[in-house]
Amino acid sequence: MVMDMAETDENSSDTPQRQGHGAVESAARNLSLLLNTMGTNGSARTPETGQRPAPRNVTVQQEMTSVEDVLCFLQHQVDTTTEFKLCVDRDDLPDRGILQWKRKKSATPVSALKVVYIGEAGIDTGALRKEFLTDMISGIENRFFEGTGSHGKNPMYSLTDLDNDNFRVVGEIMAVSLAQGGPPPAFLKEWCYNFLCTGEVDFNALSLEDVSDPESCLLISKVQDAADSQSLMLCADEIVSCGYTSLIKMDSKDGIIRAIVLHSTTRLIPMLQQLQKGMKLYGLVDQMGGNPEACRSLFVPGEIIKRTMIPSSSEGGKVCLHSREKDVVHTKEVNHIRDVKQAIFFQ
């Protein structure tokens, strides 16, 4: 009987151990299956339909010694596996181009740009893209920047364009033009370029040459030409509106002009900040900050790389010369219809 009890105790003690060992193996298998399932679901997650994917902003800084190095770096950041396709009309650039650019929700400008002109049968193999970027950069210079001479231009003081996020789009177009074969936007003043590189303004370096808006230039001329205190006081309201708070007198001309210079330039900082935001595409701003001398000639007037423009070709390899004799009324009607359709689609 003793032996039977011992055998019973031994059998009863072995049974829980075998059951416990099987439970551990089962839990391990379940955990492995769970981890595999989570890994598969996480890697397959994609952006929601209709939402624009987040742009790929490269933040890696590389040492650049020349403009060619910078352009080569930017070119390699373009996602050639996807397309950023625009359908635009030649006669309404740059405004229509910017509008269509902002409406593009299913792709980002980090992708390869493809352009289709309304009313023209042509496939963009690179020539139409370069032509579009050339027209856009030229139009952007005239539409969003102001200044005369060879010292560059400032952004136009436009709170409307700032509120519409237009300066961000302008920055993206500048980056795309540099990365995808377009002309460089070499029309900025030196202080604007330095701000885009560092995000700060060197107030001590600002001078009369940095003023570009006609109103401020005219006011500076009035102050300089004032022969007495009475003629100077005629500009008192305009001087005070520029932030000058000291006494307005002949001995204070330098201080008054200094206040006008600071007012004319520093009010443009929000426009430059929005422009800089758009230029973060391809890591351009990071390269400008790390290699300001190598990038300078791409933005400041001077010696720049001249890119050969290839004429656009149509079917049969013939050069397609665009005719400007278009029905303007028809073009506006087409644009209106497209605007209505897009407004309904994006509601």
* Angle ∠(342,157,173) on CA atoms, nearest 5: 45
Using 70 as the pLDDT threshold, list the residues of the chain that sit under it.
Answer: 1-62, 303-347
Contact (CB, 8 A) for 169 and 98: yes
User: Positive or negative, the Cα torsion across 21, 27, 31, 33?
Assistant: positive
CA–CA separation, 131 and 36 (whole Å): 50
CA–CA separation, 187 and 190 (whole Å): 9
Q: What is the dihedral of CA 299, 304, 307, 308, to 10 degrees?
A: 140
DSSP letters, 317-342, are G-B-PPP----HHHHHHHHHHHHHHH
How many C-beta atoms surround the C-beta of residue 35 within 10 A? 10
Contact (CB, 8 A) for 287 and 73: yes
Contact (CB, 8 A) for 125 and 276: no
- For residue 121, the model assigns a pLDDT of 83
3-state secondary structure of 88: strand
CA–CA separation, 137 and 93 (whole Å): 10
- For residue 124, the model assigns a pLDDT of 85
- For residue 110, the model assigns a pLDDT of 96
DSSP letters, 256-279, are HHHHHHHHHHHTTHHHHHHHHHHT
CA–CA separation, 174 and 284 (whole Å): 10
* Angle ∠(7,13,17) on CA atoms, nearest 5: 140
Would you call the peptide bond into 301 cis, given omega within 30 degrees of 0 as the criterion? no
CA–CA separation, 154 and 156 (whole Å): 6
- Angle between helical axes of 166-179 and 269-278 (0-180°, round to 10): 40
Query: Alpha carbon 126 to chain centroid distance?
Result: 21
- For residue 321, the model assigns a pLDDT of 36
- For residue 150, the model assigns a pLDDT of 83
Question: Hey, what are 334's tokens?
Answer: 């087409």
Query: Alpha carbon 208 to chain centroid distance?
Result: 29
DSSP state of 171: H
User: Residue 155: which of 275, 24, 293, 3 has the closest Cα?
Assistant: 275
Q: What is the dihedral of CA 84, 85, 89, 93, to 10 degrees?
A: 0
Contact (CB, 8 A) for 120 and 168: no
